[in-house]
Copies of this chain bind each other. A is one copy, B any other.
Amino acid sequence: MANYKTKLHKIKAFVFDVDGVLTDGMVQVSENGDLLRTYNSKDGLAIREAVESGYPIAIITGGSSETIKVRFTILGVKESDIYLRSRVKTPDFEHFCKKYNLQPDEVLFMGDDLPDIAPMRVCGLPCCPADAVPDVKAVAEYISIRNGGDGCVRDIIEQVMKVQGKWDTSAPPASSF
């Protein structure tokens, strides 16, 4: 991971998996059979700060619950950039890149499990939480010191925005969500 820091400068957009990245991987089954997830407010603040600074952000998940859209549209992510039921993630990753006229190597991807490996191989900076599965860690160029749901997303967004001079602690977004 010696030189992942040099790649932080060229990142123009972020893509995140949900389960195990933006959550700790746990899903609660509700009485009606919906799958409920629990998110981290420090991650949320970073996503909102990135959105307000103009970074496109995509969510690409195998999950299908509409509540995933609720959480991220509140933070400013565009609903059309939230890919649910993604069984093979690379095409969705490429769709997102084209939409914003981004080269894949300008896009950071953070995932934690096997379906994330393929897009991680083609993105600009493959990242994962500390508790990703070994096969994912093997392809990651940056392994966060944070686990999924415990701030790994905040960690990497903050690093990118800081090296690019965009992380302004004096005018933070509301932590509202």
Residue positions of A touching B, CB distance < 8 A: 17, 19-20, 23, 25-42, 44-45, 61-64, 67-68, 70-71, 85-88, 112-115, 117, 133, 135, 149, 169, 172-177
CA distance A149 to B42 in the complex (A): 14
Take A85-B176, A117-B169, A175-B19 as given contacts and tell me if A38 and B27 are in contact as well, using a CB distance cutoff of 8 Å. Answer: yes
CA distance A176 to B169 in the complex (A): 36
CA distance A40 to B61 in the complex (A): 15
Q: List 29 A-B contacts (CB under 8 A).
A: A19-B41, A23-B41, A25-B40, A25-B41, A26-B38, A26-B39, A26-B149, A28-B36, A29-B36, A29-B37, A29-B38, A29-B39, A30-B67, A31-B36, A31-B67, A33-B67, A35-B177, A42-B112, A42-B113, A45-B113, A62-B175, A62-B177, A63-B176, A64-B176, A64-B177, A86-B176, A113-B175, A115-B173, A135-B169
Residue among A37, A39, A169 with max Cβ neighbours from chain B (10 Å): A169
- Can you list the 4 inter-chain pairs with the closest CB atoms, starting with the nearest? A62-B176, A114-B172, A62-B174, A19-B41
CA distance A63 to B38 in the complex (A): 15
**B30/A31 in contact, CB under 8 A:** yes
Q: What are the residues of chain B within 8 A of A133 when measuring CB–CB? A: 42
- Give the interface SS of chain A, mostly helix, strand, loop or mixed: loop
Take A133-B42, A169-B135 as given contacts and tell me if A115 and B29 are in contact as well, using a CB distance cutoff of 8 Å. Answer: no
**B28/A37 in contact, CB under 8 A:** yes
CA distance A43 to B29 in the complex (A): 15
Q: What are the residues of chain B within 8 A of A85 when measuring CB–CB? A: 174, 176
**With A20-B42, A30-B30, A31-B34 already in contact, 12 other A-B pairs whose C-beta atoms are closer than 8 Å:** A26-B40, A26-B149, A27-B44, A27-B177, A28-B28, A28-B36, A29-B70, A29-B71, A30-B31, A61-B176, A62-B174, A64-B177
